[in-house]
Amino acid sequence: MNSDPALASDSLVPATRRCRIVSVTGRETTAREDNVIAEEPLAIRFTTPAQITTRDWMVAMWTPGNGEAFLAGLLFAEGVIQTPAELLAIRWDSPNAVTISLRELPDLAMRHTSNAACGACGKNDLRALGLADITPLPEHFTRFPVDPRLLPATFNARLPQFAQTGGNHAAALVAPTGDIHPPMEDVGRHNAVDKAIGAALLQGDLPAGHALLVSSRLGFEIVQKAARARIGLVLAMGAASSLAVELADRTNITLVGFLSAERYNIYTHPQRLTPASS
């Protein structure tokens, strides 16, 4: 895959911004500057080597940074690509617009991005959410040997944008050894997952036996992305939604919520965690 280094997304727009606030503590008010996480629109267009024109796909809201990983993960999660070889080039037309060259142009009418705000609203059948092509993971549950409670402290210590702003989500893959891949941060929790999965995808393939660790609550779209990436264990600091639990149960994914240094809840398929950690 090729990208234009002169238009690298990471250098065009900062991931955090400064703004003026009034801080209230008790009866005291203080005017000062503070950091907020950047939220930017990104218009995504497709083209192929045989095409002169481009076709619009969607406008995503994201936090600039790790742009190639984000786009690869998003396209993979939505079923637009199956392998990195189908992603030929990424051209940053501006800080808020990108053109992606694909080997073949997908049927864009069949590709819809779901999110926790409205993407799943009004749909009462999982097939209507674009899951017909997701195959459940094998029912043979390989035990994850690491106590999940050991992960949050290391994970939280590696989130520089959150330390500055407190306004973003993060996601990372976790090896069976307990080693945490570089966490990816974004204003959108699903974007952070796309970045984490996309980074692994661009490096060759998604490592087998890894878990996905997220800072947020567990919505349907997080489990959807994990299922596409064949990740059998999803760990979250927040709660799980009912549709996330249903999808995890159907796809043989172990779902863990309210993860902290002291405790966690297992919603589905507890066989994947060792007795010592459950």
Q: Cα(18)–Cα(40) distance, rounded to whole angstroms?
A: 15
Residue 244: pLDDT over 60: yes
Q: What is the edge-to-edge ordering of all strands in the sheet holding 211-214?
A: 184-186, 169-174, 211-214, 233-236, 254-257, 265-268
Structure tokens at 58: 């969607």
Per-residue confidence (pLDDT) for residue 14, from 0 to 100: 84
SS (H, E, C) 130-157: CCCCCCCCCCCCCCECCCHHHHHHHHHC
Q: Cα(62)–Cα(65) distance, rounded to whole angstroms?
A: 9
In the block, residue with structure tokens 């969607």? 58
* Residues 49-98: tens digit of each pLDDT: 988 888 999 999 999 999 999 999 999 999 999 999 999 999 999 999 99
Strands 211-214 and 169-174: antiparallel
Q: How confident is the model at residue 123 (pLDDT cuts 50, 70, 90)?
A: very low
**18-22, 182-186, 244-248, 267-271: the lowest-pLDDT one:** 18-22
**Is the Cα dihedral 224, 227, 229, 233 positive or negative?**
positive
**Structure-model confidence comparison of residues 270 and 276, the more confident one:** 270
- 8 Å CB contact between 74 and 221: no
Domain residue spans in the chain?
140-277
Residue 4: pLDDT over 60: no
Is 121 among the catalytic positions?
no
Max distance between CA atoms of the chain, in angstroms, equals 66
* Residues 205-232: tens digit of each pLDDT: 788 899 999 998 888 899 999 999 999 9
**Structure-model confidence comparison of residues 256 and 118, the more confident one:** 256
Per-residue confidence (pLDDT) for residue 29, from 0 to 100: 77
Per-residue confidence (pLDDT) for residue 12, from 0 to 100: 65
Per-residue confidence (pLDDT) for residue 113, from 0 to 100: 47
Q: Cα(190)–Cα(244) distance, rounded to whole angstroms?
A: 13
Domain 140-277 has CATH 3.40.140.10: yes
From the list 118, 121, 132, 276, the catalytic residue is 118
DSSP code of 179? P
Strands 97-102 and 87-94: antiparallel
Structure tokens at 249: 């149960």
For range 152-181, the mean pLDDT: 95
